[in-house]
Amino acid sequence: MISNSRLLRIDDAEVTFRYKDYRRNGADRQQAMTLTADEFIRRFLLHVLLKGFHRIRHRGLLASSARKTILARARKLLGIASPPADTFKDLPDVRPPCPCCGGHMVIIENFERWQQPRAPPQATL
């Protein structure tokens, strides 16, 4: 999202706003960009979540940028052993391939021999 303080100029055709260019250092980091009104709205709406969705930002111990090093240090300080390496990585993949696309099928339900799966509901008009 963008705060009102970053909007420098707005008219019917264009929007000029301030942004931070992380590839630059010092005073050059603050840059201004002018976009057409349509392009500005398009980019702005890319950040609007659909109804029912929640934005999640991870910080602290579980931040992805430093998760491994911070968790290793926390385990050392607390005297907790690291979890064992994943022993299932070396096992062969036994998931059946999809007959249509060749991808891995995921089994969501198994039926015993004596069980009969329900038929799909009939369409009503």
Q: Does the residue 101 lie in any domain?
A: no
Q: What is the pLDDT of residues 63-109, one digit of tens each?
A: 777 788 888 888 899 999 887 777 667 777 788 888 888 888 888 88
Q: Does the residue 29 lie in any domain?
A: yes
Q: Is the pLDDT of residue 16 over 90?
A: yes
Q: pLDDT band for position 5 (50/70/90)?
A: very high
pLDDT for position 87 = 67
Residue-range definition of the domain harbouring residue 27: 1-50
Cα–Cα distance, 42 to 34 (Å, whole number): 14
Q: Does the residue 38 lie in any domain?
A: yes
- Number of structural domains the chain divides into: 1
Q: Does the residue 3 lie in any domain?
A: yes
CB atoms within 10 A of CB 43: 13
